[in-house]
Amino acid sequence: MARELVDGGEAVLEAFRNLDIDYIIASPGSDWPSVWEALARQKINEADGPRYIDTWHETLAVTMAMGYTRVTGKLQAVLLHAGVGLLQGSLGIHGAYQGEVPMLVCSGESITNGEDPNFDPGGQWYRGLNVVGGADRWVEPFTKWSSHVSTHFNLYESITRAGEMAQRLPKGPTFLDIPMEVMLPAWTPPARMGKIPAPPKTHSEASAIDEVARLLAGASSPVIITESAGRDVEAFHQMVRLAELLSIPVVESGPGYANFPKDHPMYQGTNVNRFKDTSDVILLVGSKTPWYPPSAGPATGTVISIDEYPLKEHLTYQALHANIYLEGDIGVTVKLLADAVESNGGLNAGAISARKTQWEAEHDKATESNRAAVEAARSKGPIDPVWLCAAISEVMPDDATYVEETITHRGAILRHIAWNTPQRYFHPNGGLGQGLGTALGVKLAKPNSPVVALMGDGSFLYNPVVQSFGVSAAENLPILIIVFNNGKYAAMQNLHLQFYPEGIAAKTGIHHGVDIPGPNYADLVTPFGGHSERVEDPDELKPALERALAAVNGGTTALVDVIVSD
């Protein structure tokens, strides 16, 4: 069948251009030749438009897009192969849904089953690649919106609409199933077509903000609890400003971002239970699950929730115990709240000063305790995870960005690795296997910053490792991977012993689903020209990290496999 020069592939690409998409991140499938043709035409004509990245694996495509968007805030496009490719990418799509990361995901199919005399899609579509009812059914439970495009006449408008919806509250991934037969006909651009406007930033009414400002100004023991405020750089800085105005301690609950400077005297770590029953005003800033169990909320005190979209429909159960909601953009809302506090002439300077002294002392005490823990761990063999975290913090520069995908070692990482500016820490949402892709996406967005992926050995094995190394080399995205290798799924073992502390496994050491007879992880990066080391001696740890950092700065991905004690 002779092909028209300008068809639905150009409609797809033009929609992506007008959505201001920087990258089409894809795992190639036979359903996208129209888009490839349009991309080739874009290159030949030296036209502006998104760049195509081939990732070798669908999960990697989705998580790279997610990492890039978590830094930039900008919607990206992901093209997946048919139904099976969509299933491969579903873990990352679900993570984007949980994390409220906007993303436009498309997959293709053939709907004529070889019966069109002018078009032969290939027998594979008839035999096994089709999805009864359409692929949008599969992802409907974990996308913000999913549908299919049934005609080329509305292809362009369907894509721009899906992109706009992904960026509106609640933000999240949207999905379109686009058959090849919809992209093949000649495309006539609509008369009205242009750049799609960015979504507006919203905030609560002034009276509600003033009420919260008065409550905070009159509080004797306020606290800020946050989880994801740091996804917005402005929110990070405005929260510092608010904390300093009133000497409010800040505590993180399961952080997914760098939310507050760890070296700030108002930073009080991650123990929410220490504050929930002693604070008279509790300000939840981007915190969807501040207490566990959910019913164990504060016994007293006024709870105020600041969030774009505080009630999360992806959670089967949620209990914020909020008395007041300020819904809207977190950065804008916290700024207006700080403005209202600052303009309040009735602040109790003595009480604010006393709180400042109190929480500075508590911060210093925690810092000293962490320092003592590091000194105690420094020379232990096998390597203590506390010393590994401290060594990482000592070696890495201030602009290093961390993507963390661990379970057992997360507490030590949060306590002993420093990050004091926004967009320095990211934790994937949902299941394991997203860390490497997220790190590569972050590197794509921050090419001049060292990006460090902190992985448990179990977490590492859930990732598309070979594909990640291949994309890292092909796209010149050098990252540093540090494996916390304890040779087991410690979380499985710990939970088993929690339920059966006097059981047979506890008495005999017979455990199932725990041991990982993994490879020498350092060998895995070698075929891709990467730098690799395996470290067992605590005295060799910092030199190994320094060599790995130098390799990354020189443009080479590096992996350091660190044998840790637990």
In contact, 435 and 383? CB cutoff 8 Å: no
Closest by alpha carbon to 373, among 415, 330, 418? 415
Residue with tokens 């195509």: 52
pTM of the model: 0.96
Question: What is the strand order of the sheet 23-26 is part of?
Answer: 51-54, 23-26, 77-80, 103-109, 173-179, 145-148
Mean pLDDT of the region 246-266:
97
Strand partners, 237: none
Between helix 233-246 and helix 349-377 the angle, nearest 10°, is 120
CA distance 366 to 280: 23
In contact, 304 and 334? CB cutoff 8 Å: no
In contact, 425 and 398? CB cutoff 8 Å: no
Query: Out of 112-116, 152-156, 362-366, 459-463, which region has the weakest mean confidence (pLDDT)?
Result: 112-116
Closest by alpha carbon to 266, among 250, 287, 290? 250
Please state the φ and ψ torsions of residue 10, each to the nearest 5 degrees: -70, -35
Q: Could you tell me the CATH superfamily of domain 8-183?
A: Thiamin diphosphate (ThDP)-binding fold, Pyr/PP domains (3.40.50.970)
Q: How many CA atoms lie within 13 A of 192 on its CB side?
A: 2
The pLDDT confidence band at residue 121, using thresholds 50, 70 and 90, is confident
**pLDDT value at position 358?**
98
- Alpha helix stretches (DSSP H) within 396-540: 410-416, 435-445, 457-462, 465-474, 490-499, 504-508
**pLDDT value at position 120?**
87
Which sign does the torsion angle of CA 431, 436, 440, 445 carry? Answer: positive
* Cis peptide preceding 190, ω within 30 of 0: no
Does the structure show a pLDDT above 80 at 524?
A: yes
In contact, 178 and 108? CB cutoff 8 Å: yes
Could you state, in order of their start, the residue ranges of all structural domains in the chain? Answer: 8-183, 206-363, 378-563
For residue range 187-239, what is the model confidence (pLDDT) as tens digits?
999 988 999 999 999 999 999 999 999 999 999 999 999 999 999 999 999 99
Mean pLDDT of the region 19-27:
97
Residues contacting 467, CB < 8 A, separation 6+: 55, 56, 57, 60
CA distance 495 to 482: 25
Same fold, 8-183 and 206-363: yes
Does the structure show a pLDDT above 60 at 4?
A: no
- Domain over 206-363 is classified CATH 3.40.47.10: no
Residues contacting 216, CB < 8 A, separation 6+: 222, 246, 248, 281, 283, 337, 341
Beta strands of 261-346 (E only): which ranges?
281-285, 302-307, 324-327
Q: Could you tell me the CATH superfamily of domain 378-563?
A: Thiamin diphosphate (ThDP)-binding fold, Pyr/PP domains (3.40.50.970)
